[in-house]
Amino acid sequence: MAEKLKSIALALATALAATAPAMAQQIGTATAVNPSSEGTPPGGSTTTLTVGARVLHKERIHTSPTGSVQLLFLDKSTLSIAPNTSLVIDEFVYDPASNSGHMLTKLTQGTLQYIGGQLSHQGAVTVETPVAVIGIRGGIGVFTQGPNELQAFNLNGVQTGQNGAGRFSTITGFMRKIICWACAAGPAIPIPPDLVIHHINILSSTFGQNGGGPPFDGLPTNGLTCGTNSTPPCQWQPTNTGENNALQIIIESTKFATQPNPPPPPPNINTGAGIRAP
């Protein structure tokens, strides 16, 4: 009898292991994708990401020299991933009832921008690189891991880091460079304006790209509805959240800016009430 129960338990464990990739937890969604950007779920095969694709726990993301992607997570945080970047969403746990959990992203090469959501408000977000582990509280951070160093930029909030040489912290508007795990972090220096422009360029769609969405559909004349400047009418429905309206306007504005012959912008764009800063 014992041997029979053991065999049943083993068979059950094997079956669960085989179905694990299919049962992997969705933690977010790809909201903008420029080719070629790829995702590899745990135990699954690599596929090309598309807008609306599910992002899973432990998923690996890789972008080509022309690829970029933006991921929106359940806690309303976002990761914008530049070309030539490889990373893993190693941990993501979020309880919407208590707004608690944690997030760990492992960046092996390239550039990512993190914009905080509920988890970063509690300091529960970490970016791990080959040369340092950096925690983010309540803000926006850009991290570039190159062959010779990590550049960590704090655009808003507080960053606290650690490696084999000790701890360090960086305040808003400053950056640090770290060259190896056993090396002390470089001094905090003001972020140079040219690097800010560089990050905007590499994290944005380039000319002719639209983030994988439908063609440009016109900007609304206010934050809730679309006006006569849009033909056909805008594709989203009115909402009362303000925050959703702002996101939709940003998406359409990105398409507007990358059109071969963009039409003139409509006047008096109002993003609506209730928009919250990160």
Q: Could you state, in order of their start, the residue ranges of all structural domains in the chain?
A: 25-202, 214-278
Q: Give the gyration radius of the chain's Cα atoms.
A: 21
Region 25-202: CATH code: 2.60.120.1440
The pTM (predicted TM-score) of the whole model is: 0.70
CA–CA separation, 96 and 38 (whole Å):
28
Cα–Cα nearest to 157, from 143, 178, 136, 181: 136
pLDDT, one tens digit for every residue, the chain (278 residues): 445 434 433 443 333 344 434 446 889 888 888 877 878 888 788 888 888 888 888 899 999 888 889 999 999 999 999 999 999 999 999 998 888 999 999 999 999 999 999 999 889 999 999 999 999 998 899 999 999 999 999 999 999 999 999 999 999 999 999 999 999 999 999 999 899 889 888 888 776 665 665 554 444 444 444 444 444 444 444 444 444 455 555 555 545 544 444 444 444 434 333 333 33
User: Which SS3 state, helix, strand or coil, does residue 250 take?
Assistant: helix
CA–CA separation, 278 and 274 (whole Å):
13
Cα–Cα nearest to 28, from 119, 108, 110: 119
Cα–Cα nearest to 55, from 13, 19, 99, 94: 94
CA–CA separation, 145 and 109 (whole Å):
5
